[in-house]
A and B are shown apart, each in its own frame.
Chain A
Amino acid sequence: MSDIRLVNLSKTYGEGNAVSEINLKIGEGEFFSLLGPSGCGKSTTLRMIAGFIKPSAGQILIGSDDVTALPPEKRDIGIVFQNYAIFPHMNVAENIAFGLKLRKRNKNEITWRVTEALKQVGLAGYGERYQRQLSGGEQQRVALARVLVTEPRILLLDEPLSALDKGLREEMKFWIKDLQKNLGITTVYVTHDQDEALTMSDRIGVMSKSKIVQIGTPQEIYERPKTLFVTSFIGHSNMLDVTILGQDANGVTVDLNGQELKTRASSSVTPGGAAKLVLRPENVLIGAALGDGDSRLSATVLSETYQGPIVRYRLKVGEQEIVAERQNQAHVERFSPGTVVTIGWDPEWSEALVA
């Protein structure tokens, strides 16, 4: 088990940057996710850590070793690919034994370890099967067993769940997380799926256009996005046009349709400038749900959409639209289109962000 440090790590292809100046420390035993849209440089970063891509600049340290110049086979890393890369000409047991044979372990030890590894991933008795006789989920487990049996210092996963169907994906999400936790192995997980990142990670690095734009725990990333990009990439948010009125120690005052509202701001803003007031639909309260100290404004219900566990309202505030999502439970009032209602939110749950 080791920590990972990326120092000014960059990769340039021709004119374009695939990865620019990433600085990152991933702690021992940590589950770290790289989350971002397609083409933002997640795989490139992971493949540089694995040693398949030579960085244009910067350093990669695993534990206290600078591995930047080492070939993949000398890095002592386990990597699981999106398509699992099970060797088709070897059966499951041979696949898992591959790394052990290269390490010149004796036969008995290999047999024993392969059996143990198969048990660990819940595939006892699958040793004789070939890749074409395995489902996607099973291949995934074999790929993990093959990697873990060599006891690598770190584990790298590149979108390992994206080829599975939804039900299996849910199951594997928790299974991988549990396995990782039990082994305590430092893990870098690449995904473009925010649910995976939020559920599994200790920390998330959100990437956009070759850069890491925010690092934080799932809660920080979800509740305190620092930029409009992170806000719009993670979950849904209302983004209302406002004007900054002033900033003090308690937060920011903004003008929304002529009404003064208090809100949080994580960075300093200039009075008079335009900004977005960012607010998750589940934090928009309606009517009796409002508490003391909440911002309040009047709105008209445009539509009500029933979605099972939640009910979704489109509301009109001045010229702008706000979406509110309310739990569909006992004692929660429902509002029909056309009704004029009071809506509001806790200022601590809204944030002013400048584009």
Chain B
Amino acid sequence: MMREESAIPLVFKVIAGFALVVLLLPLVIVVLAGLNAGDYLTFPPQGLSLRWVKSFLSSPVFLSAYFYSFLLALCATLISTVVGTLAALYLARSSSKTSGAMRGFFMLPIVLPGVVLGLALYVFFTTTDIGLARTFPGLLICHVLVTCPFVIATVTASLVGFDISLEEAARSLGASPWTAFRKITLRIIAPGISAGCIFAFIVSFGQFETTLFLAVPNHEPLPMAMYISLRYKFEPTAAAAGIFAIALVVISTIVTSRLVSLRRVFKA
């Protein structure tokens, strides 16, 4: 098929370009700061070196924080992808009058300030004394709450215009409900699910405010470790850690979108 002639006005292109620069500039600064040759976190860097990258790679505190965050984000992403997809399907198909209110309720964690949510969960966990305060499961629950709305939103978007008669057609052609869901619905909403996946991972990996209240003592996730390091040392190791965080997010985004499009290629 031929590409349509672009009809985007120049103004929009300029604005988009400007936004891109504003968004990308801090990233560039972090990367350059992480490659700083000097002793302190400064910009512009005093010469380039891998000094602080090496320091990050040999720091037990940063490395364990990095892998802890990775594990946490992975678990949170898996859970919220499944839960969020199911919730989105329910919300899209339920004819119940309460589903609008429920959608708003599920979206709350996005609009609530992280500090408020973190504090609320902390108070809830400690006062009820259910053994979740400052534990991994407690932190995971919090991250699932925060990331789920992103999955719900992207999957809901991909369900707009999804025609239920596709599933019904599959059923009457002999597919069980599960087969029809797997072979039809899931395939069609896959891009939405993978987008949700990426969002969830990024949001969980970078989650700071809520984590502040719920992190397990001596097991700080990366954002907290970076914060603590900067507060007490002001070393460029934190910026070097930032480089690795950015790299992980970029790689996971590419991998996830590849997985989806590869499946497309296999199907076609």
Contact residues of A with B, CB < 8 Å?
A: 50-52, 71-73, 75, 77-79, 81, 83, 85, 87-91, 98-99, 102-103, 143, 146-147, 150
A83-B174 in contact given A89-B187, A89-B188 (Cβ < 8 Å): no
User: Using Cβ atoms and an 8 Å threshold, which residues of chain A touch B25?
Assistant: none
Task: Give 8 nearest A-B pairs by CB, closest first.
Answer: A99-B173, A85-B169, A102-B174, A72-B171, A85-B165, A81-B165, A72-B172, A79-B172
A75, chain B: closest CB distance, angstroms: 7
| B contact face: mostly helix, strand, loop, or mixed | helix
Q: Which of A81, A91, A103 contacts B174 (CB 8 A)?
A: A103
The reply to whether the CB of B166 lies closer than 8 angstroms to some CB of chain A is: yes
Nearest CB in chain B to that of A79: its residue: B172
The reply to whether the CB of B107 lies closer than 8 angstroms to some CB of chain A is: no
> Is B172 a contact of A87 with CB atoms below 8 Å?
no
> Is B168 a contact of A79 with CB atoms below 8 Å?
yes
Q: Annotate B174-210 by CB proximity to A: 1 below 8 A, 0 otherwise.
A: 1111010001100110000000000000000000000
User: Using Cβ atoms and an 8 Å threshold, which residues of chain A touch B97?
Assistant: none
A102 to B267, CA, bound (A): 17
> Is B163 a contact of A71 with CB atoms below 8 Å?
no
A73-B184 in contact given A85-B163, A87-B166 (Cβ < 8 Å): no
> Is A73 a contact of B171 with CB atoms below 8 Å?
yes
A152, chain B: closest CB distance, angstroms: 8
The reply to whether the CB of B170 lies closer than 8 angstroms to some CB of chain A is: yes
A42, chain B: closest CB distance, angstroms: 16
> Is B184 a contact of A71 with CB atoms below 8 Å?
no
User: Using Cβ atoms and an 8 Å threshold, which residues of chain A touch B179?
Assistant: 102
User: Using Cβ atoms and an 8 Å threshold, which residues of chain A touch B175?
Assistant: 73, 98, 102
User: Using Cβ atoms and an 8 Å threshold, which residues of chain B touch A91?
Assistant: 268
A77 to B168, CA, bound (A): 12
Q: How many residues of B contact A (CB 8 A)?
A: 20
Give me 12 other A-B pairs in contact (C-beta within 8 A), A72-B168, A73-B176, A77-B172 excluded: A50-B172, A52-B168, A72-B172, A73-B173, A81-B168, A85-B168, A88-B166, A89-B187, A89-B188, A90-B267, A98-B183, A99-B173
Most chain A C-beta atoms within 10 Å of own C-beta, residue among B168, B172, B175? B172
A90 to B268, CA, bound (A): 7
> Is A71 a contact of B165 with CB atoms below 8 Å?
no
User: Using Cβ atoms and an 8 Å threshold, which residues of chain B touch A77?
Assistant: 172
Q: Which of A73, A83, A89, A103 contacts B172 (CB 8 A)?
A: A73
Most chain A C-beta atoms within 10 Å of own C-beta, residue among B169, B170, B183, B187? B169
Nearest CB in chain A to that of B179: its residue: A102
User: Using Cβ atoms and an 8 Å threshold, which residues of chain B touch A83?
Assistant: 163, 165
A129, chain B: closest CB distance, angstroms: 12
A3 to B252, CA, bound (A): 57
User: Using Cβ atoms and an 8 Å threshold, which residues of chain A touch B166?
Assistant: 85, 87-88
B176, chain A: closest CB distance, angstroms: 6
A83 to B166, CA, bound (A): 10
User: Using Cβ atoms and an 8 Å threshold, which residues of chain A touch B170?
Assistant: 87, 98
10 contacting pairs across A/B (C-beta < 8 A): A71-B176, A79-B168, A81-B165, A81-B168, A81-B169, A85-B169, A87-B170, A98-B173, A99-B174, A146-B169
A192, chain B: closest CB distance, angstroms: 18
Q: Which of B176, B183, B188 contacts A88 (CB 8 A)?
A: B188
A161 to B56, CA, bound (A): 67
B112, chain A: closest CB distance, angstroms: 37
A277 to B173, CA, bound (A): 49
A98 to B184, CA, bound (A): 11
User: Using Cβ atoms and an 8 Å threshold, which residues of chain B touch A99?
Assistant: 173-174
B266, chain A: closest CB distance, angstroms: 11
A44 to B183, CA, bound (A): 26
User: Using Cβ atoms and an 8 Å threshold, which residues of chain A touch B174?
Assistant: 73, 99, 102-103, 150
B220, chain A: closest CB distance, angstroms: 44
User: Using Cβ atoms and an 8 Å threshold, which residues of chain A touch B183?
Assistant: 98
A47, chain B: closest CB distance, angstroms: 8
